[in-house]
Amino acid sequence: MKQTAVEWFYTELKELIKQSELTEMKPSEFDDRETKLLEQAKEMEKKQQGYSEEDMIAFGEFIFKHTLLAHSKGVKNLFEQFKNK
């Protein structure tokens, strides 16, 4: 079974905590390594989802524009029907 980004991050974070307890790791080093793990997990999640943030924004804009267009056509049709009565 393929590991999710969250599962991977959790496993790696537990390992980092163990390493920090067994060594004299400075808090700043721990923070840096934790940040790198989080960034890696975010990249993994993007790949697993298959869509980038830019893709999702573009899709949202597409839906918004087409919803407005459909709405304006509907309003125009209603206006035409009203005008013809």
One digit per residue, pLDDT tens: the chain, 85 residues? 678 888 999 999 999 999 999 998 899 999 999 999 999 998 888 888 777 777 777 777 777 676 666 666 665 665 566 566 5
Q: What's the token pair of residue 33?
A: 């390594």
pTM beyond 0.85: no
Query: Rounded to the nearest 10 degrees, what angle do helices 27-49 and 5-22 cross at?
Result: 170
CA quadruple 17, 21, 23, 27: dihedral positive or negative?
positive
3-state percent helix, strand, coil for the chain, nearest multiple of 5: 85, 0, 15
Residue 9 neighbours by CB distance under 10 Å: 19
Q: How many CA atoms lie within 13 A of 66 on its CB side?
A: 6
